Amino acid sequence: MMRRLGLLIALGACLFSGRPSPLIAADSFPGGTSDWFGYTKYDFNFDGKDCCVVEPKTTAPGKPWIWRARFWGHEPQTDLALLAEGFHVAYMDVANLFGNPEAVAHWNAFYDYLTAEHGFAVRPALEGMSRGGLIVYNWAAANPDRVACIYADAPVCDIKSWPGGLGEGTGNSEMWPLCLEAYGLTEETAKTFKGNPIDHLEPLAEAGVPLLHICGDADQGVPLSENTAILAERYRALEGPIKLIIKAGVGHHPHSLEDPAPIVRFILRNTCGKDPFMDLRSSLKNSYIRFQKEKKGRVAFLGGSITEGDGWRDLVCEGLQKRFPDTEFDFINAGISSTDSTLGAFRLSRDVFGRGQVDLLFLDSAVNDQYNGRTETESIRGVEGIIRHARKTQPEIDIVIQYFVDPPKMEWIRKGEVPPVIAAQEKVAEHYNIPMINQAASVTERIDSGEFTWATFKDLHPSPFGHRLYARAIDRLFDTAWNLDLEPDAETTPHEPLPEPVDALNYENGRYVEISQAKLGEGWSLVP
């Protein structure tokens, strides 16, 4: 039975990072242990700072984690909900440094420790309450490729507002001298200081890092107008995705939400292994072995104009080269405008396999199958033909199928239904355990939640903003699939044998022939 794609929970392991193999077992943190709401909490000192890690009962694949800044244990409902989902919760106390470069350096060291020695996911969700916003944003700006998303709650985004109190807010006269000292500022130089979260958003926007801010509109300590409002305006101007939840009549406290479900949904859909709009199903291990161990790789992109043009494909190529800097890649752009799955099945030999072995194949045809008027049967036969042809030609090839967004698909999704063309292609993808990314459902949900607008995304041919969203989702799939420690003798292996076809009349034998071989029907003639 077709599963609701909007509710799919991704399976598999989370995040390749290019890091060394974990050196320490998951449950061997130093220091003492204690009970924290029924979970095991480790307290220890690292890099001269007090730290703690809370481990879940069952660790989610790939070790996703949330990194909390300041005020450990305050309004813990989000942390507890994520622990129940298999997340670890981490904390490093960098109090009274106000997110300055020294604090960022401590966080860098802690990050390296957790990822390199404990195998934590390379992109944590960051959680910053109040002054915790300073370290969260300053660390993220210095490490934009290491951030899954940011949840900030009534965050300080400008030290002039808090603790400075140089605007409408009350500030904090005791903390202000400490803050100035931490940054090496004076009262006068602080007025022109450009090291605040609101001042360095470009790296985060360029990386497409999603933000969620929850604030009270009556906050007198950290006024909305001087902090989140400015940050949101600037981030949107940079085409960065941000969602605001504004609590009417609420001051600085209470933080969070009584029911943290909106926060948890935001974090789950932006972290590896838990994104509800993708499903790893099997693995991408063969391509990982080729890229990581053998240092060779050929990646092909088969689709229409969304694939052919500059955009998500280029970003994925750049990202792969960055993940595997010593690997020699050959990227094949097999996108051709207006082509669909039927045409794809017939041009596969020439356009995809013409240069030899392909290690990773991306398939996109749901938009053009729809706009070209392909029936459900045609769509099934086309996609199944591509998959069977590819696996018969190269049993070790890894394949990823994507469903891009367009207005008709959004209408179906908003009715709580799966668009027919996606249902048809998913029937095939599930049958062959092909990893899937439902970009259409993801974009629709994020628009409807207020994170951005269709005008920002632009259209079925996305703006650069939209292409970044597509590429970031693919990154999460890679992150989910490639958190692997390869054995020295690891080798690629064929995928499972092909099952019986969904449709015996699929186009797995599709190919181009010379026009001279065409059998002409009545009324047709060959014009030299």
The four Cα atoms 107, 63, 122, 284 give a dihedral, to 10 degrees, of: 170
- Please check whether residues 360 and 446 belong to one and the same domain: yes
Interior angle at CA 388, CA 366 and CA 289, nearest 5: 95
Q: Cβ atoms within 10 A of the Cβ of 341, count? A: 33
Domain shared by 210 and 140, yes or no: yes
The residue type at 273: G
pLDDT band at 171 (very low <50, low <70, confident <90, very high): very high
Starting at the edge strand found earlier in the chain, the sheet holding 242-247 runs 32-36, 39-46, 49-55, 88-92, 65-69, 125-129, 149-153, 211-216, 242-247
pLDDT tens per residue, range 331-358: 999 999 999 999 999 999 999 999 999 9
Which residues make beta-bridge pairs with 247? 216
pLDDT for 376-416, tens place per residue? Answer: 999 999 999 999 999 999 999 999 999 999 999 999 999 99
Residues 288 and 401 in one domain: yes
pLDDT of residue 260: 97
**End residue of a domain, out of 268, 289, 314:** 268
For 136-149, what is the mean pLDDT?
Answer: 98
Two tokens, residue 42: 């480790």
Question: For position 307, what pLDDT does the model report?
Answer: 98
Greatest distance between any 2 Cα atoms in the chain? 92
Residue range 68-86, pLDDT digits in tens: 998 999 999 999 999 999 9
pLDDT of residue 27: 55
Tell me phi and psi for residue 162, to 5 degrees: -140, 130
> How many C-alpha atoms does 479 have within 13 Å on its Cβ side?
29
pLDDT at 5 over 70: no
**Mean pLDDT value across residues 155-177:** 97
**What integer is the mean pLDDT of 124-140?**
98
Q: What average pLDDT does the chain have?
A: 93
Q: How far is CA 100 from CA 107, 139, 209, 511, in A?
A: 11, 9, 21, 61
Half-sphere exposure of 526 (CA within 13 A, CB side): 8
Same domain, 335 and 443: yes
Give the residue-averaged pLDDT of 137-143. Answer: 99
- Full-model pTM: 0.87
Question: H or E stretch including 264?
Answer: helix 261-268
Domain boundary residue, one of 219, 242, 268: 268
Query: Looking at the predicted structure, is the pLDDT value of residue 12 above 90?
Result: no
Mean pLDDT of 266-279: 91
Burial (CB count <10 Å: 0-12, 13-18, 19+), residue 493: exposed
In-domain check, residue 525: no
Q: Which of 436, 430, 426, 428 is nearest to 474 (CA)?
A: 436
Q: Do 324 and 473 belong together in one domain? A: yes
And the tokens for 171?
């500030």
Q: Is the pLDDT of residue 3 over 50?
A: no
Q: CA 171, CA 223: separation in Å to the nearest integer?
A: 10
Confidence of residue 20 (pLDDT cuts 50, 70, 90): very low
Say if residue 261 is in the same domain as residue 393: no
Long-range (24+ apart) CB contacts under 8 A made by 245-250 are 245/212, 245/213, 245/214, 245/215, 246/215, 246/216, 246/217, 247/214, 247/215, 247/216, 247/217, 248/217, 249/216, 249/217, 249/218, 250/216, 250/217, 250/218, 250/219
Position 472 scores a pLDDT of 95
Question: C-alpha dihedral over 75, 76, 82, 88, to 10 degrees?
Answer: 140
Cα-atom radius of gyration of the chain, to the nearest Å? Answer: 25
pLDDT digits (tens, 9 = 90+) for 455-467: 999 989 999 999 9
Does 494 map to a domain? no
For residues 172-176, average pLDDT: 97
Does position 16 have pLDDT exceeding 90, yes or no? no
Buried b (16+ CB within 10 A) or exposed e, 410-426: bebbeeeebbbbbbbbb
Q: Are residues 228 and 344 in the same domain?
A: no
Same domain, 263 and 284: no
* For residue 429, pLDDT beyond 70: yes
Q: Would you say residue 399 lies in a domain?
A: yes
Q: Which of 162-171, 173-182, 220-229, 268-277 has the lowest mean pLDDT?
A: 268-277
Q: How many CA atoms lie within 13 A of 58 on its CB side?
A: 4
Residue 85 falls within a domain, yes or no? yes
Asked, for residue 518, whether it belongs to a domain, the answer is no
In this predicted structure, what is the pLDDT of residue 63? Answer: 85
44, β-bridge pairs:
51
Instruction: Reply yes or no on whether the pLDDT at 259 is more than 50.
Output: yes
Q: Using the 3D structure, point to which of 249, 268, 287 is the last residue of a domain.
A: 268
Q: Identify whether residues 325 and 394 lie together within a single domain.
A: yes
Q: What are phi and psi of 285, to 5 degrees?
A: -70, -35
Q: How many folded domains does the chain comprise?
A: 2
> Which has the higher per-residue pLDDT, 430 or 5?
430
Q: Is residue 127 part of a domain?
A: yes
- DSSP run (H or E) holding 232: helix 228-237
> Is 172 inside a domain boundary?
no
Same domain, 288 and 264: no
The C-alpha atoms of residue 110 and residue 105 are separated, in whole angstroms, by 9
Per the structure block, which two tokens stand in for 279? 């499903």
- Mean pLDDT confidence for 207-222: 97
Main-chain dihedrals φ then ψ at residue 153, nearest 5 degrees: -120, 110
- For 312, the enclosing helix (H) or strand (E) is helix 312-323
- pLDDT at 163 exceeding the cut of 50: yes
Closest listed residue to residue 121, CA positions, set 194, 64, 187: 64
As beta bridge partners, residue 301 has 333, 362
The identity of residue 385, as a single letter, is: G
Residue 480: what pLDDT?
86
Could you tell me the CATH number of the domain that includes residue 100?
3.40.50.1820
192 within some domain: no
Q: Which of 402, 390, 208 is nearest to 304 (CA)?
A: 402
Please check whether residues 237 and 357 belong to one and the same domain: no
Is pLDDT above 50 for 124? yes
Structural domain including 252 reads 31-158+201-268
Burial class (CB in 10 A: 0-12, 13-18, 19+), 266: buried
Using the predicted structure, report yes or no on whether residue 428 has a pLDDT greater than 70. yes
Q: Which two tokens stand for residue 419?
A: 């668009």
The two tokens of residue 389 are 């042809």
Within this chain, do residues 249 and 300 fall inside the same structural domain, yes or no?
no
Question: How many residues would you count in the chain?
Answer: 528
CATH number at residue 312: 3.40.50.1110
